[in-house]
Structure 1
Amino acid sequence: MIMSKPLQDATLSVGYIAKRAGVKVSTLHFYETKGLIRSWRNQGNQRRYKPDVLRRIAVIKAAQHMGVTLQDIKETLDALPDNRTPTKKDWANLSHRWRAQLTKQIEYLEQIRDKVDGCIGCGCLSMTQCPMYNPDDVCGKSQSGAAFLPSNPDAQANHEKTDKIDKNH
């Protein structure tokens, strides 16, 4: 009788990991280039993964679903000892780290939601209805665009972080 290795000792192909994780093979390659997951090549030059990479990918996908940037995910996962796969306790700590960021995003979206019905903030279509922000359309004379909509301070920071990670890899 032939016995198979326990799953913990197995190495898994890129195709198997992609199927089990519900992502494309190209996504796995992308995650590797960003330093989020690791693989190695066997003697046949095939990319191989440890089974615990599935949990790591699940954490990445869950964090992305919450709106966390890949750079923030990477920084948080890098803080784990020996680049290990997150445990349930680790997930509680990881998600807690992202809580403040998510709260800011929610507050920003609530601001936009509350203003979207009354003013588009552009200074051109609200001349008669927006005397507080733009009396007599004075901003329309000096600038165009959505001058009065609240800006997301984290959006620029996240954009800069994304640029940083792209330049480092």
Structure 2
Amino acid sequence: MENHNDQITRKHLIDLIKGGNAHATLDDALSDLPTQLRGVIPDGLPYSIWQLAEHIRIAQWDILEFSKDQAHQSPKWPEGYWPKETAPQDDAAWHQTIDQIKKDTDSFIALLNDKNNDLYTPFPHGDGQTLLREALLIADHNSYHTAEIIVIRRLLGAWKS
């Protein structure tokens, strides 16, 4: 039987992954982004908003699959985690990336909501990772890159505040 502290921890992890407790969410950062700015790389920065969104998608998918499947093979670092194209091919590619991020977020949250998945027991594969660690990794990684998206939007004059 799950204890009360475990329930609280799961709730806090889910809230952290969804974002917005102390900062803007990824949805906020991508909301109303002008199409023509998706692939712009501001001077002095190495990537576009599209590349950041794709990187978030790829990394989160990798963490999700690693957490579910001991046979999962991660992409090669770093090239497997970053798209070479600076902009999406079209609106469909943009929306597919954003939809996949949301779908994978929901799938990871389902792992957290499954009381049969212990938060603290290391996975039988890997080198000591736990579901708790992977949840924190998703939250940390996504919030870091969400902030970068907002900074790029500010530099491009396309942020609301």
TM-score (ref. length: structure 1):
0.30
More strand by share: 1
If asked which structure has higher relative contact order (CA below 8 Å, sep 6+), I would say 2
Q: Which has the larger radius of gyration?
A: 1
